[in-house]
């Protein structure tokens, strides 16, 4: 019986962006995160390949695929060696990703909205819902919000990128992939599993915050708050994505999660 190859043939993978070290970004991440499992390695290689093919790689500032099952491996940014997450409090790390304890656990990405700019967005893949009305990822300062919020109590969800104007959906949250993207001062959209579920066209003057994104909590102008019990299997922070790009991102992420057997 022929032996199954460990990795796809390199000829079948699109050209990756050049790294100064000469190592492709999938291999670079696998080394930095200490990934040894072959299924996880193949999943990362395919994820990078799909992001490159879809024209999304250059739009990502940070993407955390949460593979490896440890705090150290989950802290590593797939895109480059910047923005390694610093974990605080009670966060569980396992094969399903990261899970907060709802009281003290969160991760500091070190990436500020001000680095992304006026048009930007964020994405997470939610495998287990939080309790109550927790803001499960993001930043807010005195005037602007850069968050994705699932409100279980009220049965709604909302995405912000600047001021209090949100793209909000008055339907109960469900597990899956959520994204928010701002493309202009009058274009804000909230997506679920790659499809738009809410928009906001109110003209918004965005002042990108100079405090870092938190995951499993909200960075309230330098203080962690609204801690979440959510189980997440990926976070991404990126430039504003069109509807088509968000759909392509979901396709790539869902294939990645399916390979790892943790899709929802």
Domain ranges of the chain: 19-259
The b-or-e profile of 153-176 (16+ CB within 10 A means b, else e) is: eeebbbbbbbbebbbbbeeebebb
Tokens of 242: 């069109």
Over residues 154-168, the mean pLDDT reads 92
Q: What percent of the chain has pLDDT over 70?
A: 92
Q: Is pLDDT at 20 greater than 60 in this prediction? A: no
Separation in Å, CA 174 to CA 151, 215, 232, 238, 257 = 11, 18, 13, 23, 17
Q: Is pLDDT at 259 greater than 90 in this prediction? A: yes
Over residues 155-176, the mean pLDDT reads 93
CA gap 138, 86 in Å, rounded: 15
Q: What does pLDDT average to over the chain?
A: 91
Tokens of 230: 């959510």
Q: Is pLDDT at 3 greater than 50 in this prediction? A: no
Return left, alpha or beta for 119; rule: phi > 0 is left, psi -120 to 50 is alpha, else beta.
beta
Digit-coded pLDDT (tens) for 196-222:
999 999 998 888 889 999 999 999 999
Q: What CATH number does the domain located at 19-259 have?
A: 2.60.120.200
Q: What is the pTM of this model?
A: 0.91
Digit-coded pLDDT (tens) for 50-67:
999 999 999 999 999 999
pLDDT the model gives residue 132: 83
- 255 Cβ contact partners less than 8 Å away, ≥ 6 residues apart: 46, 47, 50
């Amino acid at each position: 019986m022929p032996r199954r190859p460990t990795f796809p043939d390199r000829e079948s993978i699109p050209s990756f962006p050049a790294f100064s070290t000469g190592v492709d970004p999938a291999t670079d991440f696998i080394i930095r995160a200490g990934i040894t499992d072959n299924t996880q390695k193949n999943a990362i290689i395919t994820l990078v390949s799909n992001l490159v093919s879809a024209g999304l790689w250059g739009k990502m500032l940070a993407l955390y695929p949460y593979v490896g099952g440890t705090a150290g491996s989950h802290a590593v940014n797939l895109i480059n060696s910047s923005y390694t997450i610093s974990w605080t409090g009670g966060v569980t790390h396992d094969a399903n990703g990261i899970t907060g304890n709802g009281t003290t656990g969160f991760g500091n990405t070190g990436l500020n909205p001000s680095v992304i700019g006026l048009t930007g967005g964020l994405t997470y893949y939610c495998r287990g819902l939080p309790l109550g009305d927790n803001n499960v990822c993001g930043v807010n300062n005195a005037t602007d919000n850069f968050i994705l919020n699932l409100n279980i109590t009220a049965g709604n969800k909302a995405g912000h990128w600047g001021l209090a104007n949100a793209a909000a959906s008055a339907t109960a949250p469900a597990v899956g992939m959520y994204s928010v993207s701002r493309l202009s001062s009058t274009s804000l959209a909230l997506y679920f599993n790659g499809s738009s579920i809410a928009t906001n066209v109110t003209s918004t003057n965005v002042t990108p915050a100079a405090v870092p994104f938190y995951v499993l909590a909200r960075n309230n102008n330098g203080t962690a708050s609204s801690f979440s019990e959510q189980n997440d299997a990926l976070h991404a922070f990126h430039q504003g994505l069109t509807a088509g790009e968000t759909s392509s991102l979901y396709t790539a992420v869902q294939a990645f999660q399916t390979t790892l057997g943790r899709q929802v």
